Amino acid sequence: MAEDYANLMAQLKSGDLDEFVVEPADFMAFQTAYMQFESRKRIVGKAEKNGKIIYHYDHDQTQ
């Protein structure tokens, strides 16, 4: 089942979700949604072992 990454990113932005994990096999699906997300520069990922990436929204970032 494919994740709705646009919805997950919107939940990060609204504060309804603190973080979500993207597995290596799902990265290209995430990347497509990420490139279309309006405030993508505030979506920050941290690489973990085995290619997992944990994403969160940077609410404190200044533009």
Q: Which two tokens stand for residue 36?
A: 């279309």
> Which pLDDT score is estimated for 59?
87
> Which pLDDT score is estimated for 3?
81
Whole-prediction pTM? 0.87
Please, are residues 52 and 23 in contact by the beta-carbon 8 Å criterion? yes
The residue extents of the domains of the chain are 1-57
Please, are residues 45 and 53 in contact by the beta-carbon 8 Å criterion? yes
> Which pLDDT score is estimated for 62?
58
Q: CA 29, CA 34: separation in Å to the nearest integer?
A: 9
Distance, first Cα to last Cα, the chain: 35
Digits of tens for pLDDT over the chain (63 positions)? 458 999 999 999 999 999 999 999 999 999 999 999 999 999 999 999 999 999 999 988 655
